[in-house]
Structure 1
Amino acid sequence: MANWRHKMWRSLSSFQEASSYSTTSSRINKSKADDLRKIRPMILRRIENRAKDYPIKETVPVAEEILKARKIILSNVTVLLKLFPVLTCKFCSEVFVGKEGHLLQTCRSYIRRGNNRLHEWVPGSINDILVPVESYHLHNISQGVIRHQQRFDYDRVPAILELCCQAGAIHPEEILQYSKIHDNLQISDEDIMSLSAGDLKYVGATVVMAWEKVRAGLKKLLLVYPSKVCKRCKEVHVGPSGHKARLCGVFKYESWRGTHYWEKASVNDLAPEKVVWHRRPQDPVVLVDEGRSYYGQAPAIVSLCSHAGAIVPLKYACKMKPQGLSFPFTNSVPIHET
């Protein structure tokens, strides 16, 4: 009997403690919510005052240099693509600079449901060399967060142009017209075919220098202007806070569906280095899978410029293996003439 009373008393006391804890916790949460309502106007005021400091005058020349270098890259890469063929896989994002694709079993497409298959090559375009990265265009840096139902109310522009716009190099109302004019350059085929070998070498060297200028300038601007990237789907947002559009994992093969997981963006998020297999002079015409450890790799734009005769910077030499040994090629794979 005494044990039963003791158990009842202990359960009653624990229930009273839990109820008192819940009431105190609810009071604490209510007080915190009241405090947040009071300080919300102050937070919004600080955000608006911070926006008055932008754009910073010292960063305007850096953004202008990025725009000039980007224009040079787009025009000269268009010229090189008319003379040097670029292939891309039909099922994955693999790219190869050359007349014939390689035979490396690296196709990992979700459509074919295989991890190691041969690629099916089709002609590529400039978007395979320079990966397009877009973001929402903000009217000002202090505007509110873009909600999911507002995702169609804002224009999508290249992320580099949006960053330069916030840096003061482009007027916000002129960014769409700027993108249409500078991203659709027309160059006649007669001018391209009349280029000599020395001219091609100069064009390739100019592209490499402009590519390095763009990446160096983006590194400087990202230290001043906040930019976000999703950890899961690589969505980029140029601004102090990410948007609320639930676009992460919208494709069938992606495991996550919902809001983005934002983190600080880097240069490779705005200007990705698409690494491809690079064929060296000592390599066979068609790269085979058995010599994968012998062959070199390089960013697609660097590989394209090296085919034009440009001297590649030394920081890419460790991956490109210019003086490395080649795979002991056999006659099992036919050699195609170049």
Structure 2
Amino acid sequence: MLQQLPAVVYSPWIPLKKGVLSGSMELKTSHFPIPNSSFLGIKFQVTHAYENENATRRRIIIFCTDSRLTHGRKVKKLEASLQNVDLPPILPKKKKKPYPIPITKIQQAARADKKLAQMGIEKPLEPPKNGLLVPELIPVAYEVVGAWKILISGLARLLHVVPVHACSECSDIHVALAGHNIQDCCGPTSGSRKSFHSWVKGSINDVLLPIESYHMYDPFGQRIKHETRFNYDRIPAVIELCIQAGVELPDYPSRRRTKPIRMLGKKVIDMGGLIEEPELHSSYGSESSIMELDTYRIQDRYSPPAESDVPKIAQQTVKAYEKVKRGVTKLMKKYTIKACGYCSEVHVGPWGHNAKLCGEFKHQWRDGKHGWQDATVDEMFPPNYVWHVENPKGLPLKQTLRKFYGKAPAVLEVCMQAGAQVPDKYRSMMRLDIVVPEKEEARFVA
């Protein structure tokens, strides 16, 4: 169906020199069925050049859209719902991890600090870089500790109901009634098993990877040496971060400064003096405050839950997992955490320790010392992705259909099989909207 064009008023053409014709035309306002647009009454000065004066005139049609029709009005963007999202690539072990902050920015900051030091100007520091607490982050730290307790206690009870299998040769786990048949084992004897996994019963430390850190009374004090590493306790890194952010635990005290630290370049010129660290009397007895914050033998301390309480516990565990991840992300924006660029070691504090415990790629060149760099959230609180199983009691996953299977964090996979509702942001990762074909149908799928 054709739409009648608006009335056009032409002014007479005026012949100019060298075959140039000049004129003006006026378009009257007329609305067309074009979304968010219309024609306006605007005068256009038209000048067209011809090779000779006797050339045939050409008719020119100009369309103009009105952007003012959408001014001041919210326009919804059409967001395509993704069916599947690929996971972050697995970094090679024979190479250092990439820096979270570009190396050029790190070098620029180092040059700026060196220039200030040469001029004798102190380095400007804000809390918590100067040793003082950030008042608005103290409630966040307490919230993370509370969510962490719910998370590990909920997982300890759910693992009595949900079966978890771990490979005895590599770090992979599987949450289902039986282990999968996907050939992706990279253990030392995987060649003799054709990359099939050797499944054994898993524990909570297989689902929630134990990332530990040394507890220091004064993170800005003397660095931990290799000979003095046994003088410091190792606790979950999330708890150590919360302690430095303001959480008070009787068994693990922390120094609270009232005067800021002063630095000149990389040198600390005033740290308020060295204070003797109090003796720690922590133990894994019934009165220890760290006992309910650590996953050591936690499954033995909790009995299997009632069948009617399993979905409720699973939903609480999912909420606690999201709270911990969100809180750790907020704290890491302010507090410094170092991670080794070669292994999974993490240290909470402005400088990494000097313990020679790294055994990864080319550790002989570094004398076993860690290659410290800024940590990411996934290094501090790793998701530990596992294959998602639609029917835990069905047939094991097959190698030929692996491209149709999704993955999810191990904690969420356990909770989902226990009856919890998984947040929508994980649906595309788990590929819940994709129907897995049969083995003989897979070759017909594009």
* TM-score normalized with structure 1 length: 0.76
SS class of match (2:339)? strand
1:82-97 pair list within 5 angstroms: 82-97=160-175
Match of residue 17 from structure 1: none
- Give 1:48-127 correspondences, 5 Å limit: 53-112=131-190, 117-127=195-205
1:163 CA displacement? 0.5
- Residue equivalent to 1:273: 383
- Secondary structure of the structure 2 residue equivalent to 1:103: coil
2:245 — aligned with what? 167
Structure 1 distance, partners of 2:240, 2:372, is 18
Offset at 1:147? 1.8
Tell me the equivalent position of 1:5: none
The separation in 2 between residues aligned to 1:44 and 1:149, in whole angstroms, is 33
127 and 79 in structure 1: CA distance in 2 versus 1, 3 angstrom threshold: same
Structure 2 matches for 1:280-295, cutoff 5 A?
Answer: 280-281=390-391, 285-295=395-405
Q: Is 1:188 paired with 2:300?
A: no
Letter in 2 for 1:231: G
Flag the 1:283–1:99 CA change in 2: closer, same or farther, 3 A: closer
Distance in 2 separating the partners of 1:172 and 1:232:
34
Contact 2:176 2:392 in 1 (8 A): no
Q: Deviations over 1:122-160 (max 9, x none)?
A: 000000111000111111122122122222221111101
Matched, 1:262 2:392: no
Q: Give 1:317's match in structure 2, choosing from 427, 430, 443.
A: 427
Identity of aligned residues (%): 37
Contact kept? 1:283, 1:295, Cα under 8 Å: no
CA distance in 2, matches of 1:168, 1:126: 28
Equivalent residues of 2:213, 2:235 under 8 A apart? yes
Task: Report what 2:290 is aligned to.
Answer: 179
Q: How many residues align?
A: 283
User: How many Å apart are 1:200 and its aligned residue?
Assistant: 2.0
Distance 2:393 2:121 in 1: 61
Please say which of residues 267-276 and 283-292 is displaced more in the overlay. 283-292
Distance 1:279 1:204 in 2: 17
Report deviation, 1:110: 2.9
Aligned partners of 1:113 and 1:248: how far apart in 2? 27
Preserved CA contact (<8 Å) 2:166 2:174: yes
Contact 1:139–1:172 (8 Å) recurs in 2: no
Shift of 1:169: 0.7
Aligned twin of 1:220: 330
1:170 deviation in Å?
Answer: 2.5
Contact 2:177 2:393 in 1 (8 A): no
Contact persistence 2:131–2:220 (CA under 8 A): no
Query: Which moved further from structure 2: 76-85 or 143-152?
Result: 143-152
Q: How does 1:196-211 map to 2 (within 5 A)?
A: 196=308, 199-211=309-321
Q: Does the 8 Å CA contact 1:90/1:122 hold for their aligned counterparts?
A: yes
Q: Cα distance 1:103–1:46, how it changes in 2: closer, same or farther (>3 A)?
A: same
What's the TM-score, normalizing by structure 2?
A: 0.59
Partner of 1:11: none
2:219 paired residue number: 141
Within 2, Cα distance between the matches of 1:50 and 1:209? 28
Partner of 1:8: none
Deviation at 1:283, TM superposition (A): 10
Displacement over 6 Å in runs of 4+: 42-47, 49-52
Question: Does structure 1 retain, via aligned residues, the 8 Å contact 2:182–2:397?
Answer: yes
The change in CA–CA distance for 1:67 and 1:95 in structure 2 (over 3 A counts) is same
Question: Helix, strand or coil for the counterpart of 1:96?
Answer: strand
The DSSP-based 3-state class of the residue aligned with 1:106 is coil
| Structure 1 position 244, deviation (Å) | 1.2
* CA-CA distance at 1:57 after TM superposition: 1.8
Tell me, yes or no, if the aligned pair for 1:204 and 1:305 is still in contact at 8 Å. yes
Q: Which residue of 1 aligns with 2:439?
A: 329
- Counterparts in 2 of 1:56 and 1:282: CA distance versus 1, 3 Å: closer
Q: Residue 232 in 1 paired to residue 342 in 2?
A: yes
Shift of 1:174: 3.1
Checking the alignment, whether the CA contact within 8 Å between 1:108 and 1:116 is kept in structure 2 is no
Q: Which residue of 1 aligns with 2:259?
A: none
Which residue does 2:19 correspond to in 1? none
Distance 1:136 1:325, change over 3 A: same
The letter of the residue matching 2:316 is: T
Residue 363 of structure 2 aligns with an amino acid whose one-letter code is W
Mapped to 1, the partners of 2:289 and 2:122 lie a distance apart of 32
Structure 1 residue 248 corresponds to structure 2 residue 358: yes
Aligned 8 A contact 1:96 1:277 in 2:
yes
1:204: how far off? 1.3
Please state whether the residue corresponding to 1:117 is helix, strand or coil.
coil
Q: Is the 8 A contact 2:149 2:292 kept in 1?
A: no
Give the superposed CA RMSD.
2.8
The verdict on how the C-alpha distance between 1:93 and 1:245 changes in structure 2, with shifts beyond 3 A counting, is same
Q: Match of 1:327, SS?
A: coil
Please report how far the alpha carbon of residue 218 of structure 1 lies from its aligned counterpart in structure 2 after TM superposition: 0.4
Moved more, 307-316 or 241-250: 241-250
Structure 2: which amino acid aligns with 1:154? Y
1:300 aligns with 2:300: no
- Contact 1:280 / 1:296 at 8 angstroms: preserved in 2? no
